[in-house]
Amino acid sequence: MKRRELLKYIGLTAGTVALSGSASILSAAEKNSKSKRVLRIAHITDVHIRPEENAPERFVQCLEEIKKHKVDFFLNGGDSIYAADYDTITRDRVNELWKVWSETTKEISGFEMHSCLGNHDMWWAAPNKQDSMYGKEHVVKQLGIPKRYYSFDKKGWHFIILDSNNGGGSLDEEQRLWLEKDLQTIAVGTPVVCMSHYPILAVCTHVDGGNHTDSKYISDLFYKHKDKKITCISGHIHLLDEAVYNNVHYYCNGALSGFWWERGDKDSAGKSFYKQTPPGYAIIDLFEDGSVKNQYFPHSF
C-alpha cells in the first residue's frame, strides 16, 4: 500500500471510533495542551427507556461502557422515558416507565446526574391538573432535580439547565427573567454549559424542525453576555449536529436510544440509526481556559 493510501486508510479507520461534534473545536482543545482538563461529563439524551425491545438491559450495558470513560457526572438531556405525553397513555403505563428508569439508573447511583425535562416525559392525560402525576412537577420528582429549570457550579464552570417545554419548544416568561438574572450574576470570563432538551440552534432542524422557537431571543441574550464563554448542548431531534453563532457553540448529540431502541426504518443508515445518526452518547471534556471537547460515541447495544 502506498504511503498516501495508508495514511488515508488510517484516518478513515480512526474516524469510526468516535464522532466529534466539531473537528475545529477538537483541534483547538488538542492544540491548547497547556490547558488543564477540569471536568469530564457524560451527556446522555433521549434514552426513551421502556420495558420492550430489551431496552433496560441494553441501557445498562451503555451505562457500564460510559463509566469506563471515568466521567465526573452525568447530564441527562430529557425524554428519559419512552412516552408519557400522548392522550392514550394510562397511569399504569407511566408508573411502569418511571419504574424501569429508576431500576436501570441504579447502575450509576454513585454519580451525580443533572437532568432536564423532555417533551415526552410529562403525563398530560391525568384526570385533572390537581392529580399528583400531572405535568412537570411529577417529572421533577422522578428525576430528583430541584426545579424544572436551575443552575449550579462546579470547578469554575457554571451550568444552566433549561426547560424547553413551553409552547412547543421555548422558554416561558418566568424562565426568561430567571435566565437573564442568572447570566448577570456570574463573573466576566466564566465558562458556561447550557443544557436544553430542544436545540437552541441547530443546522439540521431545517429537515425535521425541532429548534427552539425563541432561538433569536436566546442567541441575542447570549450575545449580550459575550464576555462569558458559553457552550450549549441538547438532544430531542435524535441527530448529531453542531452550529456556531457569535462564538457560542451549539452541540446537539444523538439519542442514546437511536431509533427508540428499534431496528430503524427505510431512512436508517444502519441498525437502530435515526436517519444517518447512530445511537450513542457524548463525552464532554471541559478545560480550565473555557474550551470544550465534545466527542460522540456510537454504541451497538
Residue with cell 483541534: 27
- Amino acid 2: pLDDT: 46
Between 4 and 71, residue with greater pLDDT: 71
Within 8 A by CB and 6+ apart from 243, the residues are 201, 202, 203, 249, 250
Is residue 158 pLDDT above 70, yes or no? yes
pLDDT bin (cut points 50, 70, 90) of residue 34 is: confident
**Which range has the worst mean pLDDT, 19-23, 155-159, 221-225, 244-248?**
19-23
Q: What is the mean pLDDT of the chain?
A: 90
Residue with cell 490547558: 35
**81 neighbors 97 (Cβ within 8 angstroms):** yes
Share of the chain above pLDDT 70, in %: 87
- Amino acid 7: pLDDT: 40
Does residue 26 sit within a domain? no
Does residue 6 sit within a domain? no
Does residue 154 sit within a domain? yes
Number of domains in the chain: 1
- Amino acid 204: pLDDT: 77
3-state SS string over 147-161? CCCEEEEECCEEEEE
Q: Average pLDDT of 55-67? A: 98
- In the DSSP assignment, the letter for residue 274 is B
Does residue 49 sit within a domain? yes
Is residue 6 pLDDT above 90, yes or no? no
pLDDT bin (cut points 50, 70, 90) of residue 17 is: very low
* Residue 130 dihedral angles phi and psi, to the nearest 5°: -85, -10
pLDDT bin (cut points 50, 70, 90) of residue 203 is: confident
Question: Strand order in 280-287's β-sheet?
Answer: 19-20, 292-298, 280-287, 37-44, 73-76, 113-115
pLDDT bin (cut points 50, 70, 90) of residue 22 is: very low
- Amino acid 30: pLDDT: 47
pLDDT bin (cut points 50, 70, 90) of residue 167 is: confident
* Residue 82 dihedral angles phi and psi, to the nearest 5°: -55, -55
Does residue 131 sit within a domain? yes
* CATH code of the domain containing 104: 3.60.21.10
Does residue 158 sit within a domain? yes
Q: Average pLDDT of 220-228? A: 97
pLDDT bin (cut points 50, 70, 90) of residue 32 is: very low
Q: Average pLDDT of 37-46? A: 98
* Residue 28 dihedral angles phi and psi, to the nearest 5°: -65, -40
Share of the chain above pLDDT 90, in %: 84
* pLDDT (tens digit per residue) in 65-91: 999 999 999 999 999 999 999 999 999
Does residue 162 sit within a domain? yes
- Amino acid 298: pLDDT: 98
Range of the domain at 272: 44-298
Does residue 23 sit within a domain? no
Q: Average pLDDT of 257-266? A: 98
